[in-house]
């Protein structure tokens, strides 16, 4: 296309709606009138024969004003130039402002338009683009103080928009550069803004960087072959470029190829002469030669991984997954105490940058609670100091939590935001289930608590640990704090264990024959508590024995959990392999 749809405007006291699509490639600015807004338009006329960018028309002080940038003009600074025209009618004729260009300055200072100007309390405001780091990096807002046919002045005002804190995981983490503000008939205001997780030209840069890395790997392999005398730069040319074709054309073709062969042989001979001093420098039968080959191998592998990451790894953003083309958010809830503050700080800093996290709630069970200012969080953080050091606090009803989805997550578990987003997507498909990342199996007679390795050996699971799992706030908290679960909660306090096992029993009991749990396999996960020696369950076998005891007691209270065993790799998306 030679143009793309841009900004609309409606003159006062008129039912007509006009649009000026950007026509930089056509070299002219065209005016269209809506016949059936917003789908059907009629071309009216060429407004200006200039390749303007981000052009817009606004009615102000008895004139129509056209703002636009012409980067093709002599001396114009790209993304830093702004010109103005004025007219008595949107159809023209348009006259150039006396100060044109009104701006021709640093591209970070907001000269390029970033949306339609708007009136607020009698003043005109113009959004501008800060293109300092990349095209459309952020928005700046200017209050027009003087706009006449001979003079233009504006002053920057506080935009009041908080910069994204989640980096590229934010919807506008890399840039946001257009804003449209309108007042509704009710008197309230509404605004729409675009955003991007990738900077301008990101895909091209990644492709070039990836190809450079692959090219460097190939050159290094060839150079290594020369150093090992494994590559000869003078191959038999007649094998590389064979003569083919009809017999009648063979003589002419042979003469042409002979000439090409001679030039190619001359080039390869000189290349071989230059490479001859390098041949045989690496000897595979020596210790030093093997070390050098090992280092070269590691470098080639690293370059290949880097190239693959640049070309196939995307822009680095761990984006949310939509469900029926809609997105949502969840609250992360973690339970901890003073000895694990280091784990908590690292967990908050990491997970607060995940796209769909709305808030982090910390159930503080023991010791002096830290200050919110001690944490680096990209989302609101709330520390809920508990009256009692109890594992039951993990599922304590909290009316301040605004989301339906809760990610129960131990502070010592680290996984990628993409894994978390995948788990959230699966939970949104099945909000009646416990959806998590650590499967377990209760099996045997009497029932024994089994780990993930055993579960995979048996090719099934019937429990999901809630140390890393999504639950429905209403279902989970209501079931856990029901009257029927009171004896189970007492056992949790007695053993200081098994709160997740209890919730699995309550879900299984309520779900009957339907599936109560859902597994999502993380790409990787690290237990950071082992790095600091603050793991709660250090004696694994003793921990499992207590859980087996809990299973036996819960079975008498809430029925047999092992009635159903769910197989791995049963999902079409392959996220539970």
Catalytically annotated residues = 500
The token pair that represents 36 in the structure block? 């059936």
Q: How far apart are CA 565 and CA 275, in angstroms?
A: 65
Q: How far is CA 151 from CA 39, 70, 154, in A?
A: 38, 19, 10
Q: How far is CA 289 from CA 219, 225, 227, in A?
A: 19, 13, 10
Task: Find, among 298, 272, 271, 277, the residue nearest to 217 by Cα.
Answer: 298
Give alpha helix (H) positions in 141-249. 202-227, 237-240
Q: How far apart are CA 463 and CA 23, in angstroms?
A: 60
Distant-in-sequence, close-in-space partners of 207: CB < 8 Å, separation ≥ 6: 310, 311
- The alpha-carbon radius of gyration of the chain (Å, integer) is 34
Give the CB-side neighbour count of residue 493, counting CA atoms within 13 A.
12
Q: How far is CA 312 from CA 51, 207, 306, in A?
A: 36, 9, 10
Q: 327 in helix, strand or coil?
A: coil
Parallel/antiparallel/unpaired status of strands 357-364 and 381-385: parallel
Q: How far apart are CA 85 and CA 77, in angstroms?
A: 19
The token pair that represents 481 in the structure block? 């704090």
């Amino acid at each position: 296309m030679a143009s793309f749809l841009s900004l609309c405007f409606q003159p006062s006291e008129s039912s007509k709606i006009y649009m000026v699509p950007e026509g930089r490639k056509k070299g002219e600015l065209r005016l269209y009138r809506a016949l059936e807004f917003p789908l059907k338009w009629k071309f009216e006329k060429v407004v200006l024969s200039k390749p303007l960018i981000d052009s817009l028309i606004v009615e102000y002080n008895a004139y129509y004003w056209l703002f636009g940038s012409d980067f093709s003009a002599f001396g114009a600074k790209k993304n830093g130039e702004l010109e103005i025209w004025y007219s008595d009618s949107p159809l023209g004729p348009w006259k150039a402002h006396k100060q044109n260009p009104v701006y021709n300055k640093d591209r970070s200072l907001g000269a390029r338009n970033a949306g339609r100007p708007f009136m607020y309390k009698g003043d005109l405001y113009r959004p501008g683009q800060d293109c300092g780091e990349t095209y459309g990096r952020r928005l700046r807002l200017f209050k027009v103080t003087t706009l006449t046919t001979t003079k233009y002045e504006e002053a920057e005002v506080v935009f009041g928009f908080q910069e994204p804190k989640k980096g590229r995981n934010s919807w506008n983490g890399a840039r946001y550069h257009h804003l449209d503000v309108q007042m509704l008939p009710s008197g309230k205001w509404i605004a729409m803004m675009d955003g991007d997780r990738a900077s301008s030209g990101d895909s091209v840069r990644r492709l070039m960087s990836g190809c450079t890395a692959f090219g460097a790997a190939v050159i290094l392999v060839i150079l290594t072959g020369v150093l090992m005398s494994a590559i000869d730069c003078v191959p038999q040319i007649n094998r590389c470029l064979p003569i083919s074709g009809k017999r009648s054309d063979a003589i002419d073709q042979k003469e042409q190829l002979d000439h090409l062969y001679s030039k190619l042989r001359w080039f390869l001979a000189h290349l071989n002469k230059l490479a001859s001093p390098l041949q045989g420098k690496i000897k595979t039968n020596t210790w030093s030669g093997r070390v050098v080959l090992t280092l070269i191998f590691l470098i080639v592998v690293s370059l290949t991984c880097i190239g693959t990451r640049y070309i196939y790894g995307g822009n680095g953003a761990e984006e949310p997954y939509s469900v029926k083309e809609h997105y949502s958010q969840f609250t992360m809830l973690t339970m901890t105490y003073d000895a694990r503050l280091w784990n908590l700080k690292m967990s908050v800093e990491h997970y607060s940058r995940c796209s769909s996290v709305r808030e982090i709630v910390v159930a503080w069970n023991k010791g002096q609670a830290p200050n919110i200012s001690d944490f680096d969080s990209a989302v609101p953080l709330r520390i809920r100091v508990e009256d009692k050091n109890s594992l039951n606090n993990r599922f304590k009803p909290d009316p301040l939590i605004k989301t339906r989805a809760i990610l129960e997550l131990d502070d010592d578990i680290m996984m990628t935001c993409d894994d978390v987003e995948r788990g959230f997507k699966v939970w949104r498909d099945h909000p009646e289930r416990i959806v998590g990342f650590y499967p377990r199996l209760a099996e045997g007679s009497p029932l024994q608590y089994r780990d993930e390795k055993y579960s995979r050996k048996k090719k099934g699971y019937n429990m999901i640990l809630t140390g890393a799992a999504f639950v429905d706030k209403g279902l989970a908290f209501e079931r856990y704090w029901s009257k029927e679960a009171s004896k189970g909660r007492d056992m949790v306090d007695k053993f200081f264990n098994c709160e997740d096992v209890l919730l699995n029993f309550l879900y299984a009991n309520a779900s009957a024959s339907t599936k109560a749990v859902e597994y999502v396999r993380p790409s990787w996960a690290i237990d950071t508590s082992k790095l600091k020696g603050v793991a709660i369950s250090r004696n694994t076998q003793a921990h499992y024995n207590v859980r087996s005891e809990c299973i036996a007691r819960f079975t008498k209270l809430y029925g047999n959990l092992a009635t159903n065993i769910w197989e791995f790799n049963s999902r079409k998306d392959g996220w539970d392999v």
